[in-house]
């Protein structure tokens, strides 16, 4: 029996942030990065996929690749002279033909590489919309009153409801 493919979503972190209205409003890269990670944690839990967000540190002198995990979301800061694109490209070479891989970026060069290596791509704007829609879905599902079965007042007639109410008060 063939094994089920794992599903991965690679996010070019700064590419998403630079396209995001939130960043344009707050103008703070650290806050935007943290907010994006927070949304991705919710998104991963909601979708049940492996999310890896990659942030460029290629211009940071002497930086080494750093990985951390926040509530299941893998966060990668690239090493000096390595872009998020090149990191993602290496991962595509490694798993792109064996697993289901989607990459969120608006960089057209990496989009072409993604497709040629067996992955699918989603633009930064589409990813932002996807995150916002997932957040709305989560909110809708958690705010609805939890009901099992049917509303009793829709099933029973007024006389029976009155009798039940009298019985409840007498207890």
Under the banding of pLDDT at 50, 70 and 90, the label for residue 44 is very high
- Region 2-30: mean pLDDT is 87
Residue-averaged pLDDT of the chain:
84
pLDDT tier at 148 (50, 70, 90 boundaries)?
A: low
What's the pTM value of the predicted model, to 2 decimals? 0.76
Looking at residue 12, its pLDDT comes to 94
Q: What is the pLDDT of residue 74?
A: 96
Looking at the DSSP bridge assignments, the partners of residue 73 are: 70
């Amino acid at each position: 029996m063939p094994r089920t493919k794992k599903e991965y979503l690679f996010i070019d972190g700064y590419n998403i942030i630079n396209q995001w209205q939130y960043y344009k409003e707050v103008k703070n890269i650290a806050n935007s990065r943290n907010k994006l990670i927070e949304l991705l944690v919710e998104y991963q839990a909601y979708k049940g996929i492996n999310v890896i967000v990659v942030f460029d540190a290629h211009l940071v002198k002497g930086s080494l690749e750093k990985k951390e995990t926040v509530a299941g979301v893998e966060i990668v800061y690239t090493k000096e002279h390595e872009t998020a694109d090149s990191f993602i490209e290496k991962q595509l070479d490694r798993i792109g033909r064996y697993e289901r891989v989607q990459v969120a970026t608006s960089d057209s060069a990496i989009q072409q590489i993604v497709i040629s290596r067996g992955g699918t791509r989603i633009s930064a704007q589409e990813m932002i919309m996807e995150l916002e829609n997932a957040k709305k879905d989560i909110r809708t599902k958690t705010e609805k009153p939890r009901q099992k079965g049917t509303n009793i007042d829709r099933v029973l007639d007024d006389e029976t409801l009155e009798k039940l109410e009298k019985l409840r008060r007498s207890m």
